[in-house]
């Protein structure tokens, strides 16, 4: 039951390592560079070649049942869910077979709205301490459920 982390712009890499180490699970931190490798023997830093979605493809090709994927990338989450993996966003929100369709549709709708109005301002809310706490709780629960 490894944990795969889509590490580019991931604000919870340290938390994943801490919780994963406590549960003694293998972790793959996947990016296209710029990360300092961990000295933790349970953490494998995977550097993929530059290119669109190369890290996503690496994760999606490997993640399967009982695995946990940490990502904010909705299309990657959908592929991993199809493969039977559990998926958590950085704020602890679980992406599941039951909600991924609506989340994908909303993502596509918002992309269309942004494309139609190039002057639209704003962005997502910042990452908070509460988000970090929810993530830690969700990861702990996911690991316990996977090992049960």
The set of long-range contacts for 92-96, using a CB threshold of 8 Å and a minimum separation of 24, is 92/131, 92/133, 92/134, 92/135, 92/136, 92/137, 92/138, 92/139, 93/134, 93/138, 94/138, 94/142
* CATH number of the domain where residue 36 is located: 3.40.50
Domain count, the chain: 1
The per-residue pLDDT for range 65-76, each reduced to its tens digit, is: 989 999 989 899
Give me the percent of the chain exceeding a pLDDT of 70.
Answer: 90
What's the whole-number average pLDDT of the chain?
A: 88
**What's 127's DSSP letter?**
P
Average pLDDT over residues 126-146: 90
What is the reported pLDDT for 110?
64
Provide the whole-model pTM: 0.86
The per-residue pLDDT for range 78-124, each reduced to its tens digit, is: 999 999 999 999 999 999 988 877 777 776 666 666 677 777 666 66
What is the reported pLDDT for 139?
95
State the distance between the two ends of the chain, measured CA to CA, in whole angstroms.
Answer: 11
Q: Which domain holds residue 37?
A: 3-147
**What's 49's DSSP letter?**
P
């Amino acid at each position: 039951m490894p944990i795969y982390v889509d590490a580019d712009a991931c604000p919870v890499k340290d938390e994943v390592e801490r919780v994963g180490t406590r549960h003694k699970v293998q972790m793959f931190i996947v990016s296209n560079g710029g990360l300092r490798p961990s000295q933790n023997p349970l953490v494998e830093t995977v550097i993929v070649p530059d290119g669109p979605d190369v890290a996503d493809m690496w994760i999606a090709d490997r993640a399967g049942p009982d695995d946990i994927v940490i990502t904010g990338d909705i299309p990657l989450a959908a592929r991993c869910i199809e493969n039977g993996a559990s998926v958590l966003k950085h704020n602890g929100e679980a992406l599941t077979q039951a909600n991924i369709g609506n989340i994908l549709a909303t993502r596509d709708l918002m992309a269309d709205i942004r494309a139609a109005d190039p002057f639209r301002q704003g962005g997502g809310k910042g990452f908070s301490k509460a988000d970090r706490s929810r993530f830690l709780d969700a990861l702990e629960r996911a690991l316990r459920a996977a090992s049960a």
